[in-house]
Amino acid sequence: MSHYAPILLVFLMASAIPAVVWYLSRLIRPNLPNAIKCSSYECGITTTTEAREKLSIRYYLVAVMFLVFDVETVFLMPWAIQMKELALFGLVEIGVFLFLLLLGYGYIWSKGALDWE
Amino acid sequence: MEQSLAVIGSHLFLVFGLLALGGAATMVFARSAVHSVVGFLFCMLALASCYLCLGAEFLATAQILVYAGGIVVLFLFVVMIVELSKYKEQTRFQLHTPWAVGLVVAGAAAFIAVFWQTYFSPSAPQALTLDPTLAQGLDVANQNAQAISRGLYADFLLPFEILSVILLVALVGAVVLAKAERT
C-alpha cells in the first residue's frame, strides 16, 4: 500500500498548483469587471446562442460504443494475466465472450452506425 | 505530526470514503449539470482510492478506466445533447421524490448498519474479501488481479458470459435508439 504514496503526493501537488496559482493571480490582478469582460468567451466573436443546445445523437452513439468496447478490454486483462493457468478452457470462454461482442460489432457496422453521415 | 500522519494513513479508507460521499453530495445537489458530472468524477476517483486502500489494485484501475474515463464522458455527452433549459420549469422529475427519499434512507440505513458492524462491533467480522479458496497459492496482496481472474473465469463463468450479452444489448439498444431519432 505504501508504494502508492508517491502517486498520492503527485496527485496532491497537481491539485495544489492550480489552486495556488489561481489564488495568487486573484491577489495580484486588478478587479474591474464590465459587461463585456463577464460575457462568455467565444474566440473573440460576440456570442450568438447559449452553450446548451441540442447536439447530434451521434456523439452519444460514439460514446456508448466506446464504453462497451472499453469494458470489453478491461475484461480481457484478467484473462490475459492468467492465460496459461486457464488454458484451453479460458481460451474457449474468452472466445465466446469476444464472439458475442463481435456480433454486436457486425451489427453496428451493418447498420451504418460507424459512418458519420 | 508524524504520529498524526500515521493515524491518517491507517484510516485512508475513511478519508477517501468521506471524499467520495462529498463528491456524491455535490453530484446530487449541484444546480448545474456540469458541476454534477464533476462531482461524479470526484466521487469515482475517491472510490478508486478506496479500492486501492483495500488492496484491490485491479479493481481500482478498472474503476478509473471505466467510470472516470468512460461513464463520465458519457454523462458529459448527455449534458451536451439534452437541452436541459427546457426542463427547468417542469415538475415531471419531482413526482418520484418521496419514493427516492424513502429508498435513499433505506439504503443509507443498510449501509450504516454494515459499516457499524465492520468497524465498531466487538465481534467485527472479517472485512469483505474474495472467497479464500480462489486465492489459494496466491499472494493476494500482490496478485489480486490473478485472484479476480480465477473468480471471474473459473467460478463465475456463466455470469461472465451473460455480461457479454448485456454489453451486446447496450450496443444494439444504443444503435436502435439513435436510428429512431434520425428517421
Q: Which of A49, A53, A68 to mutate to test the interface with B (most CBs of B within 10 A)?
A: A68
Q: How far, in Å, are A65, B87, B97, B152 from residue B100 at the CA level?
A: 30, 19, 5, 33
Q: Does B164 touch chain A (CB under 8 A)?
A: yes
Same structural domain, B3 and B39:
yes
For residues B55 and B98, state if they share a domain: yes
pLDDT, position A51: 67
Contacts of A116 (CB under 8 A, 6+ apart): A58
- The answer to whether the CB atoms of A101 and B55 lie below 8 A apart is no
**Counting beta carbons within 10 angstroms of the beta carbon of residue B119, is it exposed (0 to 12), middle (13 to 18) or buried (19 or more)?**
exposed
Based on the fold, state whether residues B26 and B39 are members of the same structural domain. yes
> How much is the pLDDT for A19?
95
Task: At B144, list the grid cell.
Answer: 489480486
Q: What is the CATH number of the domain that holds A49?
A: 1.20.58
User: Domains in chain A: how many in total?
Assistant: 1
Q: How many CA atoms lie within 13 A of B152 on its CB side?
A: 26
CA distances from B99 to A57, B29, B93 (A): 31, 17, 12
Q: Which percentage of chain A shows pLDDT scores above 90?
A: 17
Average pLDDT over all residues of chain A:
84
Same domain for B14 and B73:
yes
Note whether B153 and B160 are within 8 A (CB): yes
Q: Residue B112 is part of a domain; what is its CATH number?
A: 1.20.120.1200
Give the residue numbers spanning the domain of B116: 1-85+94-123
Is the pLDDT reported for residue A76 higher than 70?
Answer: yes
pLDDT, tens digit, 9 for 90 and up, residues B146-177 = 778 887 887 788 888 888 889 899 888 888 88
Residue-wise pLDDT for A86-105, tens only, equals 788 888 888 998 999 899 89
Measure CB to CB from residue B153 to each of A86, A103, A113 and give the nearest one.
Answer: A86
Residue A115 lies in a domain: no
Give the distance from CA A110 to its chain's centroid.
26
Longest dimension (CA), chain B: 66
pLDDT of amino acid B84: 65
B171 neighbors A104 (Cβ within 8 angstroms): yes
- Select from B123, B144, B170 the last residue of a domain: B123
pLDDT confidence bin for A34, thresholds 50/70/90? confident
Task: Tell me how many domains chain B contains.
Answer: 2
3-state SS assignment for residue B72 = helix
Residue A32 resides in a domain? yes
Q: What angle do CA B171, A93, B137 make, to 5 degrees?
A: 125
Domain that holds residue A35: 2-110
The answer to the question of residue A116 being in a domain is no
Dihedral (Cα; B85, B90, B94, B96), 10-degree rounding: -110
Per-residue pLDDT of chain B (183 residues; tens, 9 = 90+): 667 766 776 788 888 899 999 999 999 888 888 899 999 999 999 999 888 887 788 888 889 988 888 889 888 888 877 766 665 555 556 777 888 899 999 999 998 988 787 777 666 555 445 556 666 666 666 677 777 888 788 778 888 888 888 989 988 888 888 776 555
Alpha helices in A1-117 (DSSP H): 5-28, 35-38, 58-81, 83-110
Cβ pair A54:B168 closer than 8 A: no
* A33 occurs within a structural domain: yes
Same domain, B30 and B98: yes
Interface predicted TM-score (ipTM):
0.71
Answer yes or no: do B131 and B119 share one domain: no
Least CB–CB distance from A54: residue in B81, B153, B178: B81
Which chain B residues are within 8 Å of A107, Cβ to Cβ?
Answer: 171-172, 175
State whether B104 and B179 are in the same domain: no
The pLDDT tens digits of the residues spanning B68-77 come to 888 898 888 8
Taking each helix axis from N to C end, the angle separating B157-182 and A83-110, rounded to the nearest 10 degrees, works out to 20
Answer yes or no: do B115 and B130 share one domain. Answer: no
Residues of A in contact with B175 (CB under 8 A): 61, 107-108, 111, 113
Flag whether pLDDT at A47 surpasses 90: no
The structure's pTM equals 0.73
- The verdict on B85 touching A (C-beta cutoff 8 Å) is yes
pLDDT value for A20: 95
In a domain, A28, yes or no: yes
Shortest Cα–Cα distance, A71 to chain B (Å) = 6
Residues B142, B76 share a domain: no
Rounded to a whole number of angstroms, the distance from the CA of B146 to the nearest CA of chain A is 6
Same domain, B177 and B100: no
